[in-house]
Homo-oligomer: A and B are copies of this chain.
């Protein structure tokens, strides 16, 4: 199948190239980028030499639709709202790694992303939230996937089993997010320079991160009622990886062991979620370069309160990997096709 990547010169874009270059059913037909068109991708990223040497192209909906059957958007906010609707009208499947179609309410988008919502409401209705393990059935028949954000993926895979099983008090959810720097993308910003980040942990955007409404919406869909979470984000001195440490009051005391068993059952048929045994805590390095989400559980029976530790590689399960997983589901391929990478350790 021929695919196109729009925004191919960013980190999520090259991660799509990395993973798709090992996918047996896919041919990368075109790399679209307006800012770097005319340049070969391996002139920007020498590590792709011999692997993918396509030239980046400027191209509109028409040309893309002629050459590709499926399009990945690895673009900043605002781009896919403009381009995806035209592609949808031409029957092309779109998998959007940006936040443009994730929030069900255009107003929420405008409030948190601080930009106008410019697509049609009918486009928004077509969009399926691509949290693969949770929405698999809806994804199968979707033409537009709103691929989840990195923090929401780690958070929702961590907390939704407890929500669905009714274990926790919805008003008590706190998420302490810890992210590597690659999540901020490749454009040069002073705050992401090596000398600023190294040997430092920095809190940022407390109470203001655009992933807050996405997390709340994800919980509300399962819970059936409104929730307000406290979500704090911290920049870690590392390139890849997200850990979300999630705290929530238990409605009644349960042992760590019981909850681990519940989680293992919840995810028993999911290849990419691994629930740890008691006392074995996950580290981001243990999923690095792979599509896994590893989850550790601790129930403090004294309070009682549940602590869930969830880790992913932000560029894989938190972006390009989950996008490919969703493509596999749509296309009826085995969900793990092209995603069998073992984590790089150490």
Interface residues of A (CB under 8 A from B): 11, 14, 17-18, 21-22, 45-51, 171, 174, 176, 178, 180-182, 186-190, 192-204, 206-207, 228, 230, 232, 234, 236-241, 243, 245, 247, 271, 274, 276, 280-290, 292, 294, 296, 298, 300, 302-303, 305, 307, 309, 311, 340-346
Contacts and interface: CB of A to CB of B under 8 A. Distances in A.
A144 to B, nearest CB: 28
A201 B283 CA distance: 5
B201 A241 contact: yes
A288 B199 contact: yes
Contact of A188 (B11, B190, B290, B343): B190
Contact of A307 (B230, B240, B294, B342): B230
B285 A200 contact: yes
Contacts of A286: 46-47, 200
Nearest to A296: B203
Contacts of A342: 17-18, 21-22, 47-48, 51
B300 A201 contact: no
Contacts of A303: 171, 228, 230
B274 A346 contact: no
B238 A174 contact: no
Given A46-B276, A190-B187, A307-B230, A201 B287 contact: no
Contact of A346 (B49, B239, B341): B239
A145 to B, nearest CB: 23
Contacts of A50: 271, 274, 292
Nearest to A306: B230
Given A194-B237, A201-B238, A346-B195, A206 B302 contact: no
A307 B232 CA distance: 8
Contact of A193 (B186, B243, B341): B186
Contacts of A196: 194, 285, 346
A197 B198 CA distance: 10
Given A46-B294, A174-B174, A342-B51, A283 B200 contact: yes
A323 B345 CA distance: 18
Contacts of A204: 281
B195 A198 contact: no
